[in-house]
Amino acid sequence: MANRVKTFRVLVSTDLGGDPDDIQSLIHLLHYSDVLRLEGIVSSPGPGSSPDAENIRYWVRRADLDHLRSRGHEALMTENDVVSIVRQGALTAMPPKDGNGTEGSRLIVERANAADPEGRDRPLWVLAWGSLTDIAQALHDDPGIAEKIRIYYIGSSNTTNDPASRDYVYDGMKTTWPTLWWIENGILPKFSHDTFRGYYMGGDQSGEWGNKTFVDSVIRGTGTDHGGEPGRLLGDELPLAAHPGGESGILKEGDTPTFLYLLSPVFGGVGDPDDPTVPSWGGRFRRPDPDRFPNYSVDLDAPAEQCWSTINRWRKAYLSHWKTRWQWYDE
């Protein structure tokens, strides 16, 4: 293990098909599939989204992982490997119940119960970028997976979109899975904390590190046209987003903190995946009720700007590292 980069078992539940920032986060994650070993991508509901697994497959192909592998980055996953693990989840928000299983929720159960492909007894990290609809259904159908998964959930508007599923997971800690490991980033009321917004709010926005300038100086004109319109590069097609403050045409990536949390100790030298209370690229959190729920963490009990700062303080570090991976296309 001395010369082996730490890797993580990862499954993503995304509401890609709504806010374009899910596409941004997906491309970012795929660029790190050497460390974030994907075992599933589930198309799930979210606010204003139109869940569509084929849309996810389109953007996986646009990332052109095989091109990057041919440039000496063979540790990245292959396009076929990623495309083959995309599943359709629920099409609308709904509470879990008997008979409501989806291809996506069944994949969560399957991968949670599967042996670690590397034989190291690692947990399955379930990164929730949309509502908890499919994750709650998976826990409903097989409560035993609670001991085998770690959830990092972007709450806020995803919770208001499907409060019943979020409450099902939370209330289950009182009766069935008190030791469930999960980070709820963005507890209600919306905007009161929302640690995840630190990815695009504040931090070093000077020069090429700005929400718009990073796109113009690093992303545009980069990538290949694989899987898309001939001659149109990935970096030119990548859609931009807007944040609640009104700024549009930006790199937003509100879901990216879920995996920055895992990348942080590997590439940033800060953070501990086992301890959300310490500083990390993916934010810093607190355990509100450690006696009852020892593995449940939420935003700091602090103003939103202070919560954001637990991510945006690392802005230049995580963006500069990603910049090098965009440059792989031109090697």
Q: What is the mean pLDDT of residues 30-36?
A: 99
Counting residues of the chain whose pLDDT is more than 70, the rounded percentage is 99
Give long-range contacts, CB 8 A cutoff, 24+ apart: 78-84: 81/38, 82/30, 82/33, 82/38, 82/41, 83/57
Q: What is the mean pLDDT of residues 19-27?
A: 95
The terminus-to-terminus CA distance of the chain in angstroms comes to 29
Mean pLDDT, all residues of the chain:
97
Q: Six-digit token pair at 263?
A: 């990348």
DSSP codes joined into one string, 125-159 = EEEESS-SHHHHHHHHH-GGGGGTEEEEEE-THHH
Are the beta carbons of 87 and 54 closer than 8 angstroms? no
Look up tokens 């806010």; give the residue.
19
Domains and CATH numbers, the chain: 8-330 (3.90.245.10)
Residue 1: predicted pLDDT: 36
Distance CA 76, CA 55 (A): 21
Q: Place 4 in a pLDDT band, splitting at 50, 70 and 90.
A: low
SS (H, E, C) 49-64: CCCCHHHHHHHHHHHC
Q: Are strands 149-154 and 181-185 parallel, antiparallel or unpaired?
A: parallel
Q: How many helices (H) and strands (E) does the chain have?
A: 13, 8
pLDDT (tens digit per residue) in 104-161: 999 999 999 999 999 999 999 999 999 999 999 999 999 999 999 999 999 999 999 9
Which residue, among 20, 325, 262, 293, has the nearest Cα to 173 in the 3D structure?
Answer: 293
Q: What is the mean pLDDT of residues 21-42?
A: 98
What pTM, to 2 d.p., does this model score? 0.97
Residue 243: predicted pLDDT: 83
pLDDT (tens digit per residue) in 276-291: 999 999 999 999 999 9
pLDDT (tens digit per residue) in 218-254: 999 999 999 999 999 999 999 999 987 778 899 999 9
What does each C-alpha distance from 29 to 18, 22, 263, 270 come to in angstroms?
A: 18, 10, 10, 19
Distance CA 178, CA 173 (A): 4
Helix (H, G, I), strand (E, B) or coil at 124: strand
Residue 2 has pLDDT above 60, yes or no: no
Distance CA 31, CA 241 (A): 20
